[in-house]
Amino acid sequence: MSKRQPLVVGLALAAFAAAAAAQTARAQQAAPAESPNAAARRWFEDAKFGMFVHWGVYSLLGKGEWVMNNDKIPIAEYRKLPPQFNPTRFDAEEWVKLARSAGVRYITITTKHHDGFCMYDSKLTDYDVVDASPYGEDPVKALADACHKHGVKLFFYYSLLDWHHPDYFPLGRTGHHSGREAKGDWAKYVAYYQGQVRELCTNYGEIGGLWFDGWWDAPDAAWDLEGTYKIIHDLQPGALAGNNHHVAPFPGEDFQMFEQDLPGENSAGFNKAEAADKLPLETCLTMNGSWGYNANDHAYKSTEALVHALVGAAGRGANLLLNVGPKPDGTIPAEAAERLLDLGRWLEANGKAVYGTRKGPIPPQPWGVTTARPAAEGHSPTIYLHVLKADVKEVVIPEALTTSVALPLGGKTPLKKEITPDGLKLTIPDDARAPYDTIIAVDVPVPTPDPVPLRR
């Protein structure tokens, strides 16, 4: 951090301290009741960590969720998959317990992906897991019940793009090998998909929200997104609507997602949009290189890389939605389960610097990121420095933090501080270093607010 760091850091620090002081003062007055949507957005921002599940009949082929399009499989052939789909080893309780052990706070599952096959019991089509597969049960219902039982919120991924439905016409950029006739009634397709959104908001109890995808296939089509978001908000006032369209958020959307990149990055080429400053953010990420089950993809990211993704997202005010692609038998690949348990162990020890925080007042640095926790009862606000580079021996933070106390997370011995021309230098002792992320808690003294004059 150089002293010449733009004024923005100083302003951010001042804003952080002012917000902390204001929050202390506000705590003394009755807070106005917040709307269910505002409460849900705040919950989402606090949650920090979700598990994405891409599961469908495509898992039988073990080549990912785009196999129908990539292998140019027409519907007449693809329809032979559901009768072979019988995930007898699927255990919703097991999935949710694994998620809880990983420190996951919500699960987002594909209810219908681009292939058009519904992994839930829809009354609007027989092309679903209950009517078209020997399994004959509704895995989404089982998952919803297990999530409600274990206090995990459940979000539904829903693909607007549909390679199967005869009224998804005109075709968009993909799905040109499905063998459908070159005709269809787009209004009927909109009524179909909005009817399914209604089903998802009605039949599974309280849900966390809807995660839409596939808008990018036909960006100029009459999707009636505002009508769709109204259905969600009317039926489930505490549910959030998000749409993975890779452009700036539309009216009615409650969070913004980024794919395979942290907000502000675009290595994957998906994320052209800036991070909206007023919406909760989320980055979705594969553990290997595939969303749906890919039998040949063993290129799993290291636990360190996944911790850095989780912390890197939190340091940019975003959640991490980490993906698993279950096998056709309903089990989660062993490598994925292993990574999830590693993350759970790390969060067990360090979750305080992640859950419930917001992005810190110091922007991402070469050494890492910062998260911040507002003042709590009897506790000053805390800035967490996440030193992600193992070879970094000292960090320089704004001089304005001169009066703060900097402790290794869980440690008792304050770090040595030195005022330098670049700012306040903290030296990290070797015994304070931790695997993946050395976290320094900087307790920021907050001026005690002037006593509120008693009203006569």
Number of neighbours of residue 74 by Cβ within 10 angstroms: 13
Write the CB contacts of 166 (distance below 8 Å, at least 6 apart in sequence): 180, 181, 184
**Touching ligand FHN, residues 71-100 (CB under 6 A):** none
Identify any residues that bridge with 158 across adjacent strands, giving them in sequence order.
Answer: 112, 212
Of 46, 78, 76, which Cα lies nearest the Cα of 60?
Answer: 78
What minimum distance in Å lies between the beta carbon of 322 and ligand FHN? 12
Residue 217 in the binding site for ligand FHN (CB under 6 A): no
Residue 259 in the binding site for ligand FHN (CB under 6 A): yes
Write the CB contacts of 191 (distance below 8 Å, at least 6 apart in sequence): none
Number of residues that make up the chain: 456
Q: Check if the beta carbon of residue 271 is closer than 8 Å to that of residue 245.
A: no
Identify any residues that bridge with 376 across adjacent strands, giving them in sequence order.
Answer: 379
Strand-strand pairing, 416-420 and 405-408: unpaired
In angstroms, how far apart are the furthest CA atoms of the chain? 81
What minimum distance in Å lies between the beta carbon of 196 and ligand FHN? 17
Q: Which DSSP helix (H) or strand (E) runs through 225?
A: helix 225-235
85 vs 291 by CB, closer to ligand FHN: 291
What minimum distance in Å lies between the beta carbon of 297 and ligand FHN? 14
Of 334, 331, 332, 336, which Cα lies nearest the Cα of 88?
Answer: 331
Of 242, 252, 388, 411, which Cα lies nearest the Cα of 319?
Answer: 242
In what order do the strands lie in the sheet containing 256-259?
240-243, 209-213, 153-159, 106-112, 49-53, 318-324, 281-286, 256-259
What minimum distance in Å lies between the beta carbon of 114 and ligand FHN? 6
153 vs 245 by CB, closer to ligand FHN: 245
The residue type found at 132 is: A
What minimum distance in Å lies between the beta carbon of 65 and ligand FHN? 5
Task: Quote the tokens at residue 267.
Answer: 């290595």
285 vs 385 by CB, closer to ligand FHN: 285
**Touching ligand FHN, residues 9-68 (CB under 6 A):** 65-66
285 vs 426 by CB, closer to ligand FHN: 285
270 vs 300 by CB, closer to ligand FHN: 270
Residue 291 in the binding site for ligand FHN (CB under 6 A): yes
# chain residues binding ligand FHN, by CB under 6 A: 8
What minimum distance in Å lies between the beta carbon of 246 and ligand FHN? 7
Number of neighbours of residue 174 by Cβ within 10 angstroms: 18
Residue 115 in the binding site for ligand FHN (CB under 6 A): no
199 vs 261 by CB, closer to ligand FHN: 261
What minimum distance in Å lies between the beta carbon of 376 and ligand FHN? 35
312 vs 360 by CB, closer to ligand FHN: 312
154 vs 409 by CB, closer to ligand FHN: 154
243 vs 244 by CB, closer to ligand FHN: 244
Residue 284 in the binding site for ligand FHN (CB under 6 A): yes
What minimum distance in Å lies between the beta carbon of 264 and ligand FHN? 18
Number of neighbours of residue 71 by Cβ within 10 angstroms: 12
Among 122, 244, 294, 380, binds ligand FHN (CB under 6 A): 244
What minimum distance in Å lies between the beta carbon of 137 and ligand FHN? 24
**Touching ligand FHN, residues 166-195 (CB under 6 A):** none
Task: Quote the tokens at residue 114.
Answer: 């681009």
Q: What is the 3-state secondary structure of 405-430?
A: EEEECCCCCCCEEEEECCEEEEECCH
Q: Kindly write out the interface string for residues 322-361 of this chain, putting x where it contacts ligand FHN by CB under 6 A and - elsewhere.
A: ----------------------------------------
Which residue do the tokens 């933090």 mark?
A: 401
What minimum distance in Å lies between the beta carbon of 244 and ligand FHN? 5
Asked if the peptide bond before residue 453 counts as cis, ω within 30 degrees of 0, the response is: no
238 vs 326 by CB, closer to ligand FHN: 326
**Could you list the residues that contact ligand FHN (CB under 6 A)?**
65-66, 213, 244, 259, 270, 284, 291
